[in-house]
Amino acid sequence: MTEKLDRPPTDLEAPDAAADIGAAHRLHPAWIVAAVGFLSLLLAAGFRATPGVLLVPLQNEFGWSRAAISGAVSVNLVLYGLAGPFAAALTQRFGLRRVVPSAMALIAAGSALTVAMTALWQLYLCWGVMVGVGTGAVAPVLAATIANRWFQQRRGLVLGVLTAGSATGQLLFLPLLASLSQDGDWRRAAWAVAGAALLVVPLSAVFLKEYPVDVGRAPYGGTELEPRPVVTTHPIATAFSVLRRATRTRQFWILCGTFFVCGASTNGLIATHFIPAAMDHDMPETTAAGMLAAMGILDVVGTSASGWLTDRFDPRKLLFAYYALRGLSLLALPRALVAQHLSLGAFVAFYGLDWIATVPPTVALVNQTFGRHEGIVVWGWIFAAHQIGAAIAAFSAGWIRDASGSYGPAFVGAGTLCLIAAAAVFTIRGSAQDRFGERREPPARDGSGGSLLTAGSAG
């Protein structure tokens, strides 16, 4: 049985304020949950960016090749992506208050253990496996879980902010981590990551609530207390069932392929290798890290604008523009790094705006093709393709640098793939109705008119 209010809630007050006059000016607990979620996503994304700063110091101290170090980054990226569907299952089974603190503790342990490592396999275990699984258990599903459970109004806004935080954290952390490891003492950066992860453990354990009804509230903007949902099917079985049917459609493979290129050209290539590539051209590490941080700031603007545009234009046209311009930028990057003039600044500005601008139109196409109910599961697997692309690019770019002495071929190759992806998006037509047996519908909108497209992060 549900309880209904006599009036709708005001902007920030608790929706059940009619039951308590003192609650009229009290912040709804949904915003506290969202704030803790934002902090968790911001830090988790920052932890994944650390290898980009530590690559050169690790090479100098241990003599490991960039390809070998990049291999650990690749393991991290793959596990980060593949953990998403299973993290969702764990969250439904055990709850946010168990999964998120456990994931943060795993990240802290993985980072702290690296300070004592003496062999390459230990880097793969600590940063590749432990940090990869830990961040993957948080980032892909936390934003959508919080927004869907705790918000009826402003859901699109919350999803957008949490998604931007997930992608931006890794870029904003870079200047701090680069400063800590500037003299080659990379262990200070590792300790900083471990300490930050441990800080989130008690915060998430205390302030992350499972459902609004647990604290006697309706979702933000709602007028009824909503009971806990009853899950009748095993989430892991559902994930694989949807995957099996999706793989029988051409649309799924095109979306996977284009988002594979997105991951390769952002997290795998630029996030991991931009700093070492700039240092190859005698740019100070802190300057290069500052450029990546600038991309992170611009990413917030670009992601928000992309969501606004997706509500108004054909998502395929947007993806064509994003991938084509990204490809042309990568083709021009080798010359810009040599010259280090205004063209490099232009690259930073565009790449920042474009970093995860592909997410809203990609999710829109997923929803239009597979339906909103099963589309969220399909999106999880497409996100895994994004991370596989990132992993392959992270390793391949390091190998190319070792073999040729330059990152130029890697940038040109990634730029070419982006141009191919730009052309491929226009081959997505119709729906997978014959495979999924449900009527397609346009993307849903929240009560404030915002789109509910963004279901996760590509960071």
3-state DSSP call for residue 453? Answer: coil
- Identify whether the C-beta of residue 450 lies closer than 8 Å to the C-beta of residue 155: yes
Q: Residue 232 has what pLDDT?
A: 61
* Segments making up each domain of the chain, as ranges: 13-229, 233-444
Which range, of 133-137, 235-239, 274-278, 324-328, averages the lowest pLDDT?
235-239
CA pseudo-torsion sign 1, 34, 361, 414: negative
Name the β-bridge partners of 451: 445
Instruction: Write the pLDDT tens digit of every residue in 414-436.
Output: 999 999 999 999 898 755 443 34
Q: Is 217 exposed, middle or buried (0-12, 13-18, 19+ CB in 10 A)?
A: buried
Q: What is the pLDDT of residues 10-27, one digit of tens each?
A: 444 444 444 444 444 578
Prediction pTM value: 0.70
Q: Which fold has domain 233-444?
A: Growth Hormone; Chain: A; (1.20.1250)
Backbone φ, ψ for residue 406 (5° rounding): -150, 150
Q: Which CATH architecture has domain 13-229?
A: Up-down Bundle (1.20)
How far does CA 201 lie from the centroid of its chain? 20
Residue partners of 183: CB distance under 8 A and separation at least 6: none
Residue 108: strand, helix, or coil: helix
Q: Do domains 13-229 and 233-444 have the same CATH topology?
A: yes
What gap in Å lies between CA 40 and CA 53, rounded to an integer? 21
Query: Please, is 457 exposed, middle or buried when counting C-beta atoms within 10 Å of its C-beta (0-12, 13-18, 19+)?
Result: buried
Confidence at residue 121, expressed as pLDDT on a 0 to 100 scale: 94
327 touches 422 (CB < 8 A): yes
Query: Which of the two residues, 430 and 185, has the higher pLDDT score?
Result: 185
